Amino acid sequence: MANRLAGQTSPYLLQHADNPVDWRPWGPEALAEAQEANRPILLSVGYAACHWCHVMAHESFEDPDIARLMNTLFIPVKLDREERPDLDAIYQNALASMGQPGGWPLTMFLTPRGEPFWGGTYFPPQPRYGRPGFAAVLEGVARSWAIRPNEVQANVVALMAGLERAAEAESGSLPSLAQLNDGARRVLSLVDRRGGGLSGAPKFPQPGVFDFLWRAALRTGETDLAEAVIVTLDALCQGGIYDHLGGGFMRYSTDADWLVPHFEKMLYDNAQLVDLLTSVWQGTDRPLYRRRVAETVDWLLAEMQTEGGAFAATLDADSSDGEGAYYTWTEAEIAGLLDPGTAKRFAAAYDVTRSGNWEGRVILHRLDGGDGSDFTAARARLKAHRDRRPRPGRDDKVLADWNGMTISALANAAFAFDRSDWLAAARTAYGVVRDRLALPGDRLAHTLCQGRLGAVGLLDDLAQMIRAAVTLAEVTGDAAFLHDSRRWAAAADRHHWDEQAGGYFQTAVGETDLIVRLKPGHDTATPSANGTMALALARLGQMTGETAFLERAEATAAAFAGETARALPSCAALLAAVEQLAAPVEITVSGTEPTPLLAAVAGQSLPTRVLWHGGAEGPAHAVICRGQVCLPPVADPQRLRQLLNER
């Protein structure tokens, strides 16, 4: 018999609709029920592509005896962290206050009012991996709730105090570019200079961190900074974390060498990596980066479009054959699909061996380089065979913020690589979010799934869509996109701005199902909402000349400036906004036949670029302004490249 999740649209919630656990979706009804029964809430948070969420579901949530305990002792609530990242952030912060590492599945025990008092992540059904069994956890927490209320209340008070502190930001003066450069040198000491990425395992791509290093490399000309970025991107592009047959990057590598991925693919990772690879390609002209951008965009357009042209959230790590089964191979399979000579050369290039390189199977990678052969036909043959396997599940949710990231990345890549089809895809996705996720008052819904809108959107949604609109205005010359930016900026000011301390709250004023309103300034797997907002407003102000946007961008960055120095490398988005305010490169291209000049701009790595298309009269020319100084007009594309390369 289906539980109370059956009417939801979230693919993650629907995965649990047939559990014997009487799951409720998060909402006022579940909170009211808990308060009426005076029973604690068992909050379980995850997402559709999460492997260990599936494991815990199969082991515990499908077990009738464990489900009986959950239903009897608690009000069980399921939450899709992608639908409500604001709630997830609160309870992840609470878990961190307990001294525990966060992640998913998140298992939190709350008072009937939603206040956390204890929690963890994955629990096995019986004790193992050094973790207690879930049944014992349930009984122990319920016992504490019943007979040790003072201890529970003490935990609540301590955790709520920690959450209140987490909601505060430390203001200060904006750092100088010299201080940003010093910060980049400190971050450099954390980088694995041989294998790329930040040292240790597991390894995440961390595109924001390496964008920060790349910007510093461009500002200073220091080759160590550039090399750290290049080594990292080379390893990402050649490692097992990249899908060498279908394109796209997996979420992270479980080892320090980028070989063994956690096989889920997230839209936000791929958007950020397309953006970073494009920027670094513009500065290095490395063919590998051009290929990986093209392959990843091909994957996005082939496998991730939904709801009329917007992009789905994730692909699962698992298929019906198990984790990674869709992506991995045996030597015999490959030998049976390729002719002997090609199979031998392919095996040498992609580390194909009889014993395999992961649990007896082969993860394709090119970390050893090889002879440089592309194996286009061989890869196509293997992919055609792979396409007949049971496919990983796709979470079809359209998330406004992740789509905004993807639209910006596609538009930038389309400009850099002269791909009108990519730009058309970006514009289509933009139209879906702008029109179908629109809410009264120039607000956005956070999600669209199966034609139904989800909760009212967050600061992330407005910030990323402002950024997307500004990028589209920049690369198309269509000022109509700036109208949307202004509307969304005004909505953010009305609903999210902190009038007392500055900065933006993630959730809008008046939301009733939150125990605290957070003001995100630290990056996670995605750029912080305030960092993105500050950057988007800075660019909007520079494009329009409207100082109110620049002032609000500066006030946003200043609201967190007291903590950016000590919080490196987790404030990269805010520091990108600081650089945008301090050192924009403003370029106006005007006149008839401006294409060669625009191509000259497109070929340069200019992270603080602000491009404006002037009038179409007279001979084509470009004007560059840095700071408050503008150079004489230039008509020669080669001369324009030279001027743009000057630091």
* Nearest alpha carbon to residue 464 among 492, 500, 423: 492
The pLDDT score that the predictor gives to residue 627 is: 85
| Strand pairing category for 310-315 and 322-323 | unpaired
Residues with Cβ within 8 Å of 387's Cβ and at least 6 positions away in sequence, in order, are: none
**3-state class percentages of the chain: helix first, strand second, coil last, to nearest 5:** 50, 15, 35
d(CA 111, CA 123): 20
**Angle at the Cα of 124 from the Cα atoms of 123 and 130, rounded to 5 degrees:** 80
* Nearest alpha carbon to residue 209 among 217, 221, 220, 198: 198
Measured in whole angstroms, the distance separating CA 351 from the mean position of its chain's CA atoms is 30
Phi, psi of 242, deg, nearest 5: -100, 140
Tokens matching residue 237: 């592009």
Cβ contact 291:239 at 8 Å = no
The pTM score is 0.96
Taking CA atoms, 344 is separated from 140, 365, 471, in Å, by 58, 15, 46
> What region does 123 belong to: left with phi over 0, alpha with psi -120 to 50, or beta?
beta
d(CA 246, CA 266): 14
* Nearest alpha carbon to residue 465 among 494, 436, 508: 436
Residue numbers of the chain with a pLDDT score lower than 70: 1-2, 371
The CATH architecture that domain 177-319+394-582 belongs to is Alpha/alpha barrel (1.50)
Count the alpha carbons within 13 Å of 297 in the hemisphere toward its beta carbon: 28
d(CA 13, CA 3): 11
The CATH architecture that domain 11-166 belongs to is 3-Layer(aba) Sandwich (3.40)
Tokens matching residue 326: 């869709």
Cβ contact 172:562 at 8 Å = yes
Helix segments in 387-479, DSSP class H: 400-417, 420-436, 459-476
Cβ contact 404:465 at 8 Å = yes
Domain boundaries, the chain: 11-166, 177-319+394-582, 327-386, 585-645
Residues with Cβ within 8 Å of 147's Cβ and at least 6 positions away in sequence, in order, are: none
Q: Tens of pLDDT along 46-77?
A: 999 998 999 999 999 999 999 999 999 999 99
Residues with Cβ within 8 Å of 446's Cβ and at least 6 positions away in sequence, in order, are: 83, 84, 399, 400, 401, 454, 455, 456, 457, 458, 461
The pLDDT score that the predictor gives to residue 378 is: 97
Which residues are bridge partners to 42 per DSSP?
Answer: 76, 109
Residues with Cβ within 8 Å of 456's Cβ and at least 6 positions away in sequence, in order, are: 439, 443, 445, 446, 508, 511
Q: Which residues of 44-83 are buried (b: 16+ CB within 10 A; e: fewer)?
A: bbbbbbbbbbbebbebbbebeebbebbbebbbbbbbbbbb
d(CA 474, CA 613): 8
d(CA 509, CA 521): 18
**Number of residues in the chain:** 647
First to last CA, the chain: 67
Cβ contact 197:205 at 8 Å = yes
Looking at residue 259, what DSSP letter applies? -
d(CA 409, CA 306): 18
Q: Tens of pLDDT along 588-645?
A: 999 999 999 999 999 999 999 999 999 888 999 999 999 889 999 999 999 999 999 9
| Strand pairing category for 41-46 and 75-80 | parallel
d(CA 278, CA 294): 10
Cβ contact 228:188 at 8 Å = yes
Three-state SS for 30?
A: helix
Looking at residue 24, what DSSP letter applies? E
Tokens matching residue 99: 């001294």
CB atoms within 10 A of CB 200: 9
* Nearest alpha carbon to residue 519 among 500, 537, 535: 500
Q: Which residue has the tokens 């090119």?
A: 366
The pLDDT score that the predictor gives to residue 371 is: 67
| Strand pairing category for 585-590 and 609-613 | parallel
